[in-house]
Structure 1
């Protein structure tokens, strides 16, 4: 698993920005341009190919990184990729919200400003470039002196809009990931229902060694199901922080409309969440630790010594 950004370049850019007093939340994005992700993605792929190592590149946010991944996959490399709803749906403009509000959307890699990045993310979700869509859930509270407010408290420049260098990275998304992928992906025709199942469940189970206990409906597997409303009873839902159960005090999707919300979530055959009542009904402690097995997706290609052939001296 690789988070692909060039830390040395980020440090250099961040230092230059601080020296110029450019420390507002949106300059978090300035310090981590797409090129920083692109370079690291290409380098990680190259190194993985040399040693014949399967690899998952996570939190992909840019069209350039997506293109590098796709190109490597078409050459048969055991390369997998993950992206998140915020890269498909939110833009860098979120970091320019009034006052310190932009801190709510400081994450790494940062949200991108070019709409083509989002187009390529959705294209990659549809064509198999991305193996999974995850939330990258970071329940860092906004109204907390140990959370996002560190950007105000630990702020040597005294900039009233805070200091991006001391804002904790990440944003919450575990409660919205699945409804967003369903509503914005399936119901808007960007991905098929089958692709939704792969991105939301089955591929993750295979990738992380939990298949077929998880990720499929068959005898012997856990009965984990989401029941959606049908077209006649479906109605738009406005995402509101007060309705979520995600352990954070805000959502970056506040006010966003989705076309559906789970009616029921069933865990191991028992109802865990009642969507009509918006209530978690499974008893505390019902969660179960799962011991991971071996990934059932492809591993090394067996070419690990092929590069030696051109370097080994031969005596005539």
Structure 2
């Protein structure tokens, strides 16, 4: 059935205005005042914001790591994302050295195709560069629509690539029209510091942070930016945590390097002291890069406001506290790295950003949706409310007050990193391509309804032959 969302306040990255939205066949076909049409369902959004669906550019669903697999898969993870106001995710497809890239891509399709309730795409990890890998990359882009490549500068002997691999990936990405992403930490230095800490008997979760100091995040960020400039390529730095990394991104941008920065809600709201909690509770907050000293939060908020950082990803990578995180009891280096963030990403940025005056309402939409859609080849199909765009829409109540808790979240994991945090604002209803996934805070979606999206090349807008976009 056709739908009209009436009486809401539409908010995009550039505009805020009162209007109705007509949805036909999953697409926005008209925006205007007092719209009426026969045989059309009317959805009343009085007193609510009407946002474009969130785009989460950084998730790890059903991902193997540290001898276990993340607790949330494409079913529970995308359901939680939808409750949180996210209608598109881009998940990381991990590759194995010596194996064809297509094998990894097929594995990720198998994980997701029958489970996802919202739309999704993939980033592709590049762990090595050789003739076989280079020969596959054009097909990865043209046939799979995977236009972003991830290079790990950390996790020595597991995921880490060397500098030559990063540099060659940047060169290839420039030629092919892809965006290179980096996990920017110096894995070699971390490996040395971890071995030293364990040798000295320092095994508690706090040493995860102390062996990954901010200086080595800054160093790796600068190194990646330098390589990007040499290759005349483009770079996206994931999960930026600290002043050292922010300053290197800002400096590189001032020097004309095409570099973008992402942070995450956990770095905006939590700090290093959480890893000091007793009874191994600190393990709940072990992820990489680690939480930093609290003063870095102000640096990150300022960077979002001033445009030195550009997006917010969840880095969703959930492991149960009991049965998974406790694999690292007595050895912090064996604690699976990651936390559950996908559901609270949008609401935290609204509550702590917009309602507290740190960012504007339009910046909020840009940071949670539009900028990621533009950077990763989804815009303007995703990331905005405009004629021709997918009807990915969040009806958001800005006045609701609630307390985040494991007792009420929709993720499969057994704890919430933001437990007890009081926030203002919550998605009430969420539509993906015109169909309700969440309605009046109840799940009404269907498993497998989410579509795999082939994305445009870096710097290009998403286009189809049969759709007209009005921006």
Normalised to the residue count of structure 2, the TM-score between the two structures is: 0.58
Moved >2 Å (runs of 4+): 295-298
Question: Structure 2: how far apart are the matches of 1:222 and 1:207?
Answer: 17
Give the match's secondary structure for 1:94.
helix
Question: Structure 1: how far apart are the matches of 2:394 and 2:417?
Answer: 24
Higher strand share: 2
From 251, 254, 267, the counterpart of 1:74: 254
The answer to whether structure 1 residue 281 and structure 2 residue 444 are counterparts is yes
The answer to whether structure 1 residue 149 and structure 2 residue 326 are counterparts is yes
Give the match's secondary structure for 2:420.
coil
Question: Structure 2: how far apart are the matches of 1:139 and 1:24?
Answer: 20
Give the match's secondary structure for 1:235.
strand
Question: Structure 2: how far apart are the matches of 1:240 and 1:66?
Answer: 31
Q: Any unmatched runs of 5+ in structure 2?
A: 1-180, 462-471
Structure number with higher relative contact order (C-alpha < 8 Å, ≥ 6 residues apart): 2
Higher helix share: 1
Question: Structure 1: how far apart are the matches of 2:443 and 2:304?
Answer: 30
Residue pairs, 1:246-285, within 5 angstroms: 246-274=411-439, 276=440, 278-285=441-448
> Is the Cα–Cα contact under 8 Å of residues 272 and 281 in structure 1 kept in the other structure?
yes
| CA positional deviation for 1:216 | 1.2
| CA positional deviation for 1:76 | 2.1
Structure 1 residues 97 and 15 mapped into 2: Cα distance closer, same or farther (>3 Å)?
Answer: same
Question: Structure 1: how far apart are the matches of 2:291 and 2:350?
Answer: 21
* Residue number in structure 2 paired with 1:118: 297
Question: Structure 2: how far apart are the matches of 1:286 and 1:187?
Answer: 34
Residue pairs, 1:174-193, within 5 angstroms: 174-193=342-361
Residue pairs, 1:80-91, within 5 angstroms: 80-91=260-271
Instruction: Give the stretch that moved more between structures: 172-181 or 207-216.
Output: 207-216
Question: Structure 1: how far apart are the matches of 2:209 and 2:271?
Answer: 11
Normalised to the residue count of structure 1, the TM-score between the two structures is: 0.86
The answer to whether structure 1 residue 295 and structure 2 residue 463 are counterparts is no
The answer to whether structure 1 residue 244 and structure 2 residue 383 are counterparts is no
Size of the aligned set, in residue pairs, is 281
| CA positional deviation for 1:40 | 0.7
* Residue number in structure 2 paired with 1:135: 314
Question: Structure 2: how far apart are the matches of 1:97 and 1:34?
Answer: 21
| CA positional deviation for 1:297 | 7.0
Q: Any unmatched runs of 5+ in structure 1?
A: 153-161, 299-316
| CA positional deviation for 1:44 | 0.9
Question: Structure 2: how far apart are the matches of 1:14 and 1:67?
Answer: 26
